[in-house]
Amino acid sequence: MKRYLNPDKASWPQILERPLFNAADLTGKVKAILDEIKSDGLPAIQKFTEQFDGVAIREFAVTEAEIAEASQLVDAELKAAIEIAASNIQRFHASQVTELRKIETSPGIVCWQKAVGIEKVGLYIPGGSAPLFSTVLMLGIPAKIAGCSEIVLCTPPNKEGKIHPAILFAAQLVGVTKIFKLGGVQAIGALAYGAGSVPKVSKIFGPGNQYVMAAKQLVSIADAAIDMPAGPSEVAVMADESANPAFIASDLLSQAEHGPDSQVVLVCNSEKLVDEVEAALAKQLAELSRMEIATKALDHSVAIVVNSEDEMVEMINEYAPEHLIISMNKYLEVAEKIVNAGSIFLGNYTPESAGDYASGTNHTLPTNGWARSFSGVNLDSFIRKITFQEITKDGIQNLGPVIEKMAAAEQLDAHKNAVSLRLKSLE
């Protein structure tokens, strides 16, 4: 990790810069693939699956027999763990359901709002170097609670044309309606346009590499909504003398192992703590199966020492991390000052991996600074809210003159006339 001691504020943006590919070059490559999928459909996704995943697939849909076989291959203890996590995620997201309330805004005028599930949603589940079956729970459960009628899942196949059994087990557990052996840009294109047996959906969810993220943003221009713009995974840790260096190191590594383009940031008030964390990093890194990946991520990660808690808060709000761990004495007090973060983990005994798997909160979160303007995935992500209004005769007589006056001032005569005709009919 690069180390900075009390850096000048003017240098903060450069210090906190994310590691990204050349966006222009990336977008051009992705657009070419999407255009071919849009025009050619099934042959295009077959071509790109063979090119990028190294496997020739004729029929992408997963069969009931494959799901049943996969369920038998999942260890009983892992099944139990997935079911406990699903229960917690279900409980937390079900608590976000709001009751319908009718409001009389003025006499004779009643307004209300109704939540309706998006009919067709697509869930993208990364499955390359790490099959993220936990993401199936994070996306499938709120989709089901929201009442989405069609929940379509795409995930990359392995070299044998199969999907990791835990992904299939989780998918059937949460009520996914269709599953396809399809990954990368080709999966996003198929979900956005429809291709072969893959249906076109209205909104696409899920994390992925920068190619997947670029594809999501491109299709969101005109073809399908997306959950949020995003980039590689990241974590920031705020720490003081009460923090445990080994815990901090473990949290930094838990994000670094996601991919070589992930980023981890430590902001603290002690250079001694940085020394202790770096020693713990070296020790723990040597024991990781994904050591090479984590090492590359650490190469562009930073440890920053500042003088005060206020500076720590200001720096974190400027960075707007996907995940924020606050390992400080007064963590609740500090947390109240944070306004830009995807998800916050409080105290020494709340690892970020709890949110990734089983505490109940959603792990699909805004990265790359998008926490300044986007929430993480939640129940509202899967619903639309339709407003209603009902006006009685007394209501239009009371409010009509107000509408007439405003419409006339905007020189919209037809708007005014729609009210005037009703008022005259009641004379």
- Mean of pLDDT values over 258-271: 93
Instruction: Map out the domains of the chain as residue ranges.
Output: 2-17+233-360, 23-226, 392-425
Taking phi over 0 as left and psi of -120 to 50 as alpha, with beta for the rest, 147 belongs to left
Tell me what pLDDT residue 229 has.
86
Active site residue 322: yes
pLDDT (mean) for 170-181: 98
How many of the other CB atoms lie within 10 Å of CB of 5?
11
Q: Which of 286, 284, 297 is nearest to 257 (CA)?
A: 297
- Predicted pLDDT of residue 129: 62
Tell me the sheet residues that pair with 4. 304
Each residue's pLDDT tens digit, 198-249: 999 999 999 888 899 899 999 999 999 999 988 788 999 999 999 999 999 9
Question: Per the residue annotation, which of 322, 336, 390, 404 is the catalytic one?
Answer: 322
**Paired sense of beta strands 234-239 and 323-327, if any:** parallel
Q: How far is CA 3 from CA 15, 171, 258, in A?
A: 10, 43, 22
Higher per-residue confidence, 261 vs 8: 8
Comparing C-alpha atoms, which of 89, 61, 97 is closest to residue 382? 97
Give alpha helix (H) positions in 300-370. Answer: 309-319, 331-335, 352-357
Residue 393 has pLDDT above 90, yes or no: yes
Point out the annotated binding site: 124, 186, 209, 233, 255, 258, 323, 356, 410, 415
pLDDT at 259 over 90: no
CATH number assigned to the domain covering 23-226: 3.40.50.1980
Say how far apart CA 249 and CA 189 lie, in whole Å.
38
CB 119 within 8 A of CB 202: yes
pLDDT value at residue 369: 94
Nearest to 264 by CA among 304, 307, 207, 223: 304
Same-fold call for 23-226 versus 392-425: no
Q: Alpha helix (H) ranges present in 75-205?
A: 76-94, 133-146, 165-174, 184-193
The pLDDT > 70 percentage for the chain reads 98
Q: Which fold has domain 2-17+233-360?
A: Rossmann fold (3.40.50)
The pLDDT, as a whole number, for residue 21 is 59
DSSP H or E segment with residue 235: strand 234-239
Q: Which residues does the annotation place in the binding site for Zn(2+)?
A: 255, 258, 356, 415
Share of the chain above pLDDT 90, in %: 91
Average pLDDT value for residue range 335-343: 98
Annotated binding residues for substrate, written as ranges, equal 233, 255, 258, 323, 356, 410, 415
Q: CB–CB of 152/123 below 8 Å?
A: yes
pLDDT tens-digit readout, 288-304: 999 999 999 999 899 99
Tens of pLDDT along 9-26?
A: 999 999 999 876 566 778
101-110, 127-136, 140-149, 337-346, range with the lowest pLDDT: 127-136
In the annotated binding site for NAD(+), the residues are 124, 186, 209
- Out of 93, 164, 323, 363, the active site residue is 323
Domain 392-425 has CATH 1.20.5.1300: yes
pLDDT tens by residue, 81-128? 999 999 999 999 999 999 999 999 999 999 999 999 999 999 999 986
Q: Which residue, among 301, 323, 298, 292, has the nearest Cα to 129 in the 3D structure?
A: 292
Report how far residue 150's alpha carbon sits from residue 198's, in angstroms, rounded to the nearest whole number. Answer: 12
* Average pLDDT of the segment spanning 313-330: 97
Q: What share of the chain is helix, strand, coil (3-state, %, to 5)?
A: 50, 15, 35
Q: How many CB atoms lie within 10 A of CB 63?
A: 10
pLDDT given for residue 364 in this prediction: 95
Among this protein's residues, is 363 annotated catalytic? no
